[in-house]
Structure 1
Amino acid sequence: MYKLENEILSISIATKGAEIQSIYNKNTHLDYLWDGNPSFWSKRSPILFPIVGGLKNNEYSFNHHTYQLSRHGFARDKEFTVIRQSADSISFSLQNDEETLLKYPFHFELVITYTLQESKIDIAYSVTNNGSNKMWFSIGAHPAFKVPLVEGTRFENYFLSFNRFENTARYPLNKEGLLKEDPEIFLQNTNELPLEKSLFYDDALVFKTLESTSISIESEKTPHGVTIEFKGFPFMGIWSAKDADFVCVEPWHGIADSENTSGKLERKEGILSLDAHKTFNANWSISLF
């Protein structure tokens, strides 16, 4: 376990999955991250790579071969190596190995860098194609924040605040975790979404057309909350396990398969391509208040 600390924040990160395990604010004396209670969901902030969401039949085809890959890919279950560390920053690296090549036939390096900036955590993703041919991938975040955050408040006392007014549909998921073709009207000329546990009884809220570049978890009963900034991420998932006391706000470069997918990796909705020896970069952040 590795720790980063400044005058305001203290965070811990595991080498498995390069996954944040806690986010503590010394000023508010609050830990903002879900505790990983396995009765509901044992993860806390997994990294989704090389796919986001599920594949139809948990498989895809590429170059006339069929590969098996479980939901959200394998990075969250792999051991990362620390390659750089300073007083306020740490970088974790994952590279392909014999096991990954059986599921995902590309040579890559994935680097996750966490940097503390006062009460803000910047999370940077770097994906390098170390192969000689084009590489296809998705990457996304899945952080779970405590709701309720403060004692004496309830889940239903909180709401999501979008930094722009939204008029957008959600894309429902079927029982296999695949996107249905027809969207449902959801956010209509509003920048707020009141939280209710029943919102997530049919899985995640999936958005393809959000205007916002940040979402905050807030409550009128406490001045404390969290803001997730995600400029440049085209997809967003908002999720909680059934009746659990957390909410995930998930910026994605990629999305689950649709019910009518072809199964071909290079035609997958939201898939990114990367030429040989090139690097893709993206970042998002968590601000605590």
Structure 2
Amino acid sequence: MENEHLIVHLHPKGAELRQLKGKKTGINYLWSGDPAWWGKTSPVLFPIVGTLRDNSYTYQGKTYSLPRHGFARDKRFMVEQSSPLAANFLLQDDSETREVYPFSFQFHVFYALIEDRLSVRYTVVNTGPDTLWFSVGAHPAFAVPPTGVADAGDYEDHYLQFDRSDALVRYKLSDGLISDETETITLDNHVLRLNAGLFSEDAIVLKGLPDQHIRLLGWKHMNGIEFSWQDFPFFGIWAPAGAPFVCLEPWCGIADSVHHDKELTRKEGIRSLGPGDYFAREWSVRCF
């Protein structure tokens, strides 16, 4: 996809965003996917977000297994639409998905270029006769510093600017599960300074974040992104310690708690859809 502002590369595997480059700035804003740190760039999370307790869940008396963040990120999507300004990908249930997730569904991932902004919409459709239980989320990784900026400084010369929050209540993880422990991270004038120590205990997991916009900026340059979302009740911020990127992750769903009884319908953040119903959420990123 391409317009006068941005060049976007997408891949049918996982309907994954692979490149987000400014035409005027020459900057690659997205992480490169170097497997030395993390081999993905912007995986789509479906039909769960995060880790299941014992990597399994129960539904109607049967036990099923799913990997962290579900299977969509590793499945090949059908390309339903492709043009310079928009692309639509589709994943449908099949015999393989029904072995681990006994539901009928259509999952659409729609990308659109709107001037200097990339918009991403997830739509889940219940195509079966029973209630569909699911979670969905985003996991884009942005390069820090952005690739192609001269004299951009180091990782610690960059920060996240929140539009509302003065402090973040972090729900700590224990082996990928939500523990009973929380930590309050105080922000300086809505600013979270990036440093490798932020993620020494895994992701920063947030609930009920009042913000709808986060800007990723640097002290030594004027380029960055504005990341926007609506109606995602959970949010994650993550990078492997020392990695040159940061993930901004709006979620409709969350990892199991350490106390969860593994019943899918009682999972925190799980969504339900009646037969024939659909669910849609959207996030976007503006590049400058």
TM-score by length of 2: 0.97
Secondary structure of residue in 2 paired with 1:199: helix
Superposition deviation, residue 190 in structure 1: 4.3
Of the three residues 6, 30, 35, the one matched with 1:33 is: 30
Q: Distance in 1 between matches of 2:140 and 2:279?
A: 21
Whether 2:139 is the aligned partner of 1:142: answer yes
CA contact (8 A) 1:168 1:209 kept: no
Q: In structure 2, what is the equivalent of residue 219 of structure 1?
A: 218
2:111 paired with 1:114: yes
Q: Which residue of 2 aligns with 1:159?
A: 159
Could you list the per-position Cα deviations for residues 34-85 of structure 1 after superposition, in whole angstroms to 9, with x for gaps in the alignment? 0111111000000000000000000000000000000000000000011123
**1:57 aligned to 2:34?**
no
1:254 aligns with 2:253: yes
Checking the alignment, whether the CA contact within 8 Å between 2:52 and 2:255 is kept in structure 1 is yes
Distance 1:207 1:279 in 2: 26
Aligned-partner Cα distance in 2 for 1:165–1:74? 33
Equivalent residues of 1:171, 1:182 under 8 A apart: yes
Measured against aligned partners, the alpha-carbon deviations of 1:67-120 in whole angstroms (never above 9, x if no partner) come to 000000000000001112333111000000111101100000000000000110
Aligned mates of 2:242, 2:265 — CA distance in 1 = 37
Q: C-alpha distance in 1, partners of 2:57/2:160?
A: 35
The alignment partner of 2:159 has SS state of: strand
Q: Counterparts of 1:256 and 1:209 in 2: how far apart (Å)?
A: 15
Match of 1:97 in 2: 94
Distance 2:53 2:247 in 1: 23
Q: Which runs of 4+ in 1 moved over 4 A?
A: none
Q: Find the aligned partners of 2:40 and 2:200 in 1 and give their Cα distance.
A: 19
Q: Quick check: 2:167–2:190 contact (8 Å CA) kept in 1?
A: no
Q: Secondary structure in 1 aligned to 2:30?
A: coil
RMSD, aligned α-carbons: 1.1
| % identical aligned pairs | 43
Q: Does structure 2 conserve the Cα–Cα contact (< 8 Å) formed by 1:24 and 1:31?
A: yes
Aligned to 1:228: 227
Aligned to 2:169: 169
> Is 1:22 the equivalent of 2:22?
no
State the SS of the aligned residue for 2:99.
Answer: helix
Moved more, 100-109 or 188-197: 188-197
- 2:41 paired with 1:44: yes
2:261 alignment partner, SS class: coil
Cα offset for 1:219? Answer: 1.2
In 2, Cα distance between equivalents of 1:143 and 1:69: 21
User: Residue 188 of structure 1: CA displacement?
Assistant: 5.4
- Alignment partners' CA distance in 2, 1:190 and 1:48: 32
Distance, in Å, in 1 between the alignment partners of 2:230 and 2:88 is: 21
Instruction: Indicate the residue corresponding to 2:82 in structure 1.
Output: 85
The one of 118, 124, 128 equivalent to 1:127 is 124
The residue type paired with residue 173 of structure 1 is L
Distance 2:160 2:222 in 1: 14
* CA distance, structure 2, for counterparts of residue 248 and residue 210 of structure 1: 16
Q: Per the alignment, in what secondary structure is the counterpart of residue 210 of structure 2?
A: coil
CA distance in 1, matches of 2:180, 2:87: 41
Aligned to 2:185: 186
| Counterpart residue number, 1:205 | 204
CA distance in 2, matches of 1:193, 1:131: 44
Deviations 1:229-259 (A, max 9, x none): 0111110000001211000000000000110
TM-score by length of 1: 0.96
Q: Which moved more, 1:82-91 or 1:211-220?
A: 82-91
Q: Which runs of 5+ in 2 are unaligned?
A: none
- Greater CA drift, 256-265 or 81-90: 81-90
